């Protein structure tokens, strides 16, 4: 029996495992990097062990440190979570050699499925359909996809539409895979452009039983990383569903699988056929939707199997799940709330979450790794939380989840919340017409014009100014004896131009203050306070909740959230940067520099590569010219907006 469990992971997944351990009466041990020391999961554990450093290579990827932490803390079992070393056979062996219980499949199963190349060979032998491409591929085989043999999460993955680009994409995929997983092995397979990503949840035990707990549709992805998952998969023929489940059972049986795992398939709805993609030999990020529709706790099942028990819930009358016993109840949908800006190519965001509040709703579940006040760092992926809704039908689940997200208050860091709400309310999604190309065909919604949000922000700032006065409390805000012109306040949505911190197109709000209150053209100011403003337009009143933190103002309303920054009346000359400056789009680490000072470059030519939140981003020359300044070297840590290099554009005018 397991009495004390160490989770060799962080944030959301650690909190998730700890929750089940508390229910089962199992003591818990957290490990944490320096950057994670104050995250909620650390204090949720009974004991915590520091892993000195921040980067994953210094902390969560150090198997020897994790085993030592388990032994020092008196743990008798290790749960790997997902990501990091969760699918590392050597780590599993190290845990077992130390006399600890490994909560996961055997090292041999991990190894067999850890290489996607070898896994395909095993599946072909087991009669599971797989995708293949000839060597070398031809134009007729396009499009292709390059994938990392180890790991997942979209890292080391490139789609190729032009054979001339294949070698470059192979090189880029190898570099990213090596950085993310320590293994640069990649392979090529056909790319089904409008396929669906459907996966089956399996749980095996030491008695040879393999239980099937339905399937999930995970087709909505950006950069080959999942954004939304649901169970059961919509618009899937029943006969195909049964065949899919049996293929997953065959796949798990082929490696004598023990514990919770997921067999992933690419489903082609046009031909009603599917192909094996990979098997994840761990708990999946999206496991909550399966738990909700089947009424099970997959972490509890993992622990039960690790202790030698059955792969079915430990309850009276339970039998190994078969197709007629594992029918789902209702529908569950999960969205991944990321710290990223979809409108800027999903660029990762960092900073402090000044507010993180998701309102309660029927059937709502929030698995979060952060809270109000948490710092979002550059060291780990951008996932903040998973928001899940379970309802009697898909239609109800979609509507409830969209409503809960729309009412959430998330301040301090840009997120994909607005995109998620738009996806859930999209008619194609609501009709179940999903594919891996969905997000490309339904781009992120355009940035909402601040409109009346900006007015509310400015009036709340005026009220704060009134409250902060030390004298003349009775004088109205912006009072003038002779009214000659309105007050003009500038705010920004955060876009940067040629000068850091100063937007190219600030929003101008004109308003009057007086003894009778505020006046704004086209609006009636019903009430105004530092924390909220009610405005009436065309006979309809709207209340805006306002949160002020320094020069930043967050405004929430039924129409959504807008973050604004008060623009100073005069720009600080110290903030000015030279024309042609390449600014860091996000905080991160410089991985490589592709040019030298004095070198001529073409428009779009790579200048350097940044790594942030486990993804690599290429910074390219904005125009043809000469590199006149190069301020960073590989390994340098840079902040968002920091000058990386300067490309002076070529002078095309004829000499006079």
- Return the CATH number at 581: 2.40.50.100
Identify the helix (H) or strand (E) that includes residue 414: none
Is residue 98 within 8 A of residue 24, CB to CB? The reply is: no
Mean pLDDT (whole number) for 236-265: 96
CATH code of the domain covering residue 62? 3.40.50.20
Q: Which residues contact 243 (CB under 8 A, 6 or more apart)?
A: 274
Q: What is the DSSP code (8-state) at residue 253? A: H
Q: How far apart are the first and last CA of the chain?
A: 87
Mean pLDDT (whole number) for 623-641: 87
Of the spans 180-184, 268-272, 465-469, 533-537, which averages the highest pLDDT? 533-537
Residue 324 lies in a domain: no
Confidence of residue 150 (pLDDT cuts 50, 70, 90): low
d(CA 577, CA 579): 7
Name the residue with tokens 């959430």.
408
Which of 89-103, 141-155, 403-417, 520-534 has the weakest average pLDDT? 141-155
Is the per-residue pLDDT at 493 higher than 90?
no
Residue 545 lies in a domain: yes
Backbone angles phi, psi at 574, to 5 degrees: -70, -20
Statement to judge: residues 549 and 586 lie in one domain: no
Nearest to 399 by CA among 422, 425, 418, 417: 425
CA 449 to chain centre: 25
Is residue 31 within 8 A of residue 49, CB to CB? The reply is: yes
CA 134 to chain centre: 34
pLDDT 10s digits, 9-33: 999 999 999 999 999 999 999 999 9
Statement to judge: residues 89 and 182 lie in one domain: no
Nearest to 546 by CA among 463, 477, 457: 457
d(CA 600, CA 509): 44
Paired strand residues for 510: 488
Statement to judge: residues 91 and 156 lie in one domain: no
> Which tokens sit at 345?
């190519």
Statement to judge: residues 456 and 525 lie in one domain: yes
pLDDT 10s digits, 53-92: 999 999 999 999 999 999 999 999 999 999 999 999 999 9
Angle CA(420)–CA(219)–CA(617) in degrees, nearest 5? 70
Backbone angles phi, psi at 73, to 5 degrees: -90, -5
Which of 144-158, 475-489, 568-582 has the weakest average pLDDT? 568-582
CA 154 to chain centre: 12
> Which tokens sit at 53?
């450093």
Confidence of residue 128 (pLDDT cuts 50, 70, 90): very high
Residue 654 lies in a domain: no
SS3 content of the chain, % helix, strand, coil (to 5): 25, 30, 40
> Given the DSSP bridges, would you call strands 27-32 and 4-7 parallel, antiparallel or unpaired?
parallel
Output the pLDDT for position 324: 41
CATH code of the domain covering residue 522? 3.30.700
User: Residue 384 class from Cβ within 10 Å (0-12 exposed, 13-18 middle, 19+ buried)?
Assistant: buried
> Which tokens sit at 487?
């007050």
Output the pLDDT for position 502: 45
Longest dimension (CA), the chain: 93
Nearest to 130 by CA among 340, 226, 2, 274: 274
Beta-strand ranges (E) seen in 383-500 are 383-391, 409-411, 487-492
Mean pLDDT (whole number) for 297-301: 97
d(CA 590, CA 588): 7
Nearest to 247 by CA among 195, 206, 200, 282: 200
Adjacency order of strands within the sheet including 637-638: 615-620, 606-612, 588-593, 637-638
Cα within 13 Å of Cα(101), Cβ side: 19
Nearest to 618 by CA among 190, 172, 258, 295: 172
> Which tokens sit at 307?
């202790």
CATH code of the domain covering residue 176? 3.30.1490.20
Q: What percent of the chain has pLDDT over 90?
A: 64
CA distances in angstroms from 82 to 140, 337, 417, 543, 550, listed in the order given:
37, 17, 23, 42, 38
Statement to judge: residues 582 and 560 lie in one domain: no
Residue 112 lies in a domain: no
Is residue 247 within 8 A of residue 232, CB to CB? The reply is: no
Angle CA(504)–CA(413)–CA(497) in degrees, nearest 5? 15
Is residue 441 within 8 A of residue 434, CB to CB? The reply is: no
Last residue of a domain, one of 511, 536, 566: 566
Backbone angles phi, psi at 91, to 5 degrees: -65, -45
Backbone angles phi, psi at 11, to 5 degrees: 50, -130
Paired strand residues for 49: 31
Last residue of a domain, one of 151, 175, 190: 190
Output the pLDDT for position 583: 86
Identify the helix (H) or strand (E) that includes residue 181: helix 166-181
Statement to judge: residues 144 and 56 lie in one domain: no
Confidence of residue 614 (pLDDT cuts 50, 70, 90): low
Name the residue with tokens 């428009």.
603
Name the residue with tokens 């004088």.
475
Statement to judge: residues 520 and 481 lie in one domain: yes
Cα within 13 Å of Cα(152), Cβ side: 22
Output the pLDDT for position 495: 46
Is residue 209 within 8 A of residue 313, CB to CB? The reply is: no
Residue 354 vs residue 321, higher pLDDT: 354
Output the pLDDT for position 581: 85
Question: Around Cβ 44, how many Cβ atoms within 10 Å?
Answer: 16
Residue 179 lies in a domain: yes
Statement to judge: residues 32 and 53 lie in one domain: yes
pLDDT 10s digits, 544-558: 999 999 889 999 999
Is residue 262 within 8 A of residue 279, CB to CB? The reply is: yes
Residue 344 lies in a domain: no
d(CA 573, CA 504): 16
- Count of structural domains within the chain: 4
Mean pLDDT (whole number) for 161-169: 87
Is residue 288 within 8 A of residue 388, CB to CB? The reply is: yes
Residue 390 vs residue 192, higher pLDDT: 390
Identify the helix (H) or strand (E) that includes residue 467: helix 452-467
Mean pLDDT (whole number) for 94-110: 97
Residue 170 vs residue 8, higher pLDDT: 8
Question: Structural domain of residue 77, as residue ranges?
Answer: 4-103
Statement to judge: residues 456 and 531 lie in one domain: yes
- The overall average pLDDT reported for the chain is 89
Is the per-residue pLDDT at 654 higher than 80?
no
Residue 392 lies in a domain: no
């Amino acid at each position: 029996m397991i009495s004390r469990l160490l989770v060799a992971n962080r944030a959301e997944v650690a909190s998730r495992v700890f929750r089940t351990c508390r229910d089962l009466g199992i003591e818990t041990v957290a490990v944490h990097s320096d950057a994670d020391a104050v995250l909620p999961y650390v204090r949720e554990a009974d004991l915590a062990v520091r892993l000195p450093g921040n980067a994953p290579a210094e902390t969560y990827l150090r198997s020897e440190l994790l085993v030592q932490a388990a032994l020092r803390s008196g743990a008798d079992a290790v749960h790997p979570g997902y990501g990091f070393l969760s699918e590392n056979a050597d780590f599993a062996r190290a845990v077992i050699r130390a006399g600890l219980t490994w909560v996961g499949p055997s090292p041999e199963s991990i190894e067999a499925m850890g290489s996607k190349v070898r896994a395909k060979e095993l599946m072909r032998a087991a009669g599971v359909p797989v995708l293949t491409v000839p060597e070398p591929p031809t134009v007729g085989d396009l499009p292709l996809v390059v994938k990392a043999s180890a790991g997942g999460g979209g890292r080391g993955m490139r789609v190729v539409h032009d054979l001339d680009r294949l070698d470059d994409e192979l090189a880029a995929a190898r570099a990213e895979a090596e950085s993310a997983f320590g293994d640069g092995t990649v392979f090529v397979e056909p790319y089904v452009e409008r396929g669906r990503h459907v996966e089956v949840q399996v749980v095996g035990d030491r008695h040879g039983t393999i239980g099937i707990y339905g399937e999930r549709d995970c087709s909505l992805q950006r950069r080959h990383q999942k954004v939304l998952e649901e169970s059961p998969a919509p618009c899937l023929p029943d006969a195909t569903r049964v065949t899919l489940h049996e293929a997953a059972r065959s796949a798990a049986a082929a490696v004598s699988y023990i514990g919770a795992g997921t067999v992933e398939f690419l489903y082609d709805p046009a031909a009603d056929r599917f192909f094996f993609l990979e098997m994840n030999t761990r708990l999946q990020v999206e496991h909550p939707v399966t738990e909700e529709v089947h009424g099970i706790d997959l972490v509890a099942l993992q622990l039960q199997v690790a202790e030698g028990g059955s792969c079915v819930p430990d309850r009276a009358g339970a039998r190994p799940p078969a197709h007629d016993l594992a029918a789902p109840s209702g529908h569950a949908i999960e969205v991944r709330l990321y710290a990223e800006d979809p409108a800027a190519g999903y660029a990762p965001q960092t900073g402090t979450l000044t507010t993180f509040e998701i309102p309660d709703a029927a059937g709502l579940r929030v698995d979060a790794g952060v809270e109000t006040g948490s710092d979002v760092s550059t060291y780990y992926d951008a996932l903040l939380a998973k928001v899940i809704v379970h309802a009697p039908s898909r239609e109800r689940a979609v509507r409830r989840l969209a409503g809960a997200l729309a009412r959430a208050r998330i301040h301090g860091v840009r997120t994909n919340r607005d995109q998620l709400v738009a996806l859930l309310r999209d008619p194609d999604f609501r009709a179940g017409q999903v594919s891996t190309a969905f997000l490309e065909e339904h781009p992120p919604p355009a940035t909402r014009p601040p409109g009346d949000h900006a007015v509310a922000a400015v009036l709340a700032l005026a009220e704060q100014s009134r409250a902060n006065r030390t004298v003349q409390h009775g004088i109205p805000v912006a009072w003038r004896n002779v009214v000659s012109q309105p007050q003009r306040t500038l705010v920004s949505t955060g876009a940067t131009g040629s000068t850091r911190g100063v937007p190219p197109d600030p929003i101008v709000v004109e308003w009057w203050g007086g003894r009778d209150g505020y006046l704004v053209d086209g609006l009636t100011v019903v009430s105004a306070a530092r924390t909220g403003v009610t405005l009436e337009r065309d006979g309809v009143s709207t209340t805006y909740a306002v949160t002020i933190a320094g020069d930043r103002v967050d405004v929430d309303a039924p129409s959504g959230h807008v973050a604004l920054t008060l623009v100073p009346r005069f720009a600080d000359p110290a903030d000015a940067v030279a024309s042609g400056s390449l600014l860091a789009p996000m905080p991160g680490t410089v991985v490589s520099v592709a040019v030298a000072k004095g070198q001529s470059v073409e428009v779009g030519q790579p200048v350097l590569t940044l790594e942030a939140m486990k993804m690599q981003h290429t910074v390219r020359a904005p125009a043809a010219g000469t590199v006149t300044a190069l301020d960073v070297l590989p390994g340098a840590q840079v902040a968002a907006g920091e000058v990386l290099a300067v490309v002076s554009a070529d002078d095309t005018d004829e000499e006079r």
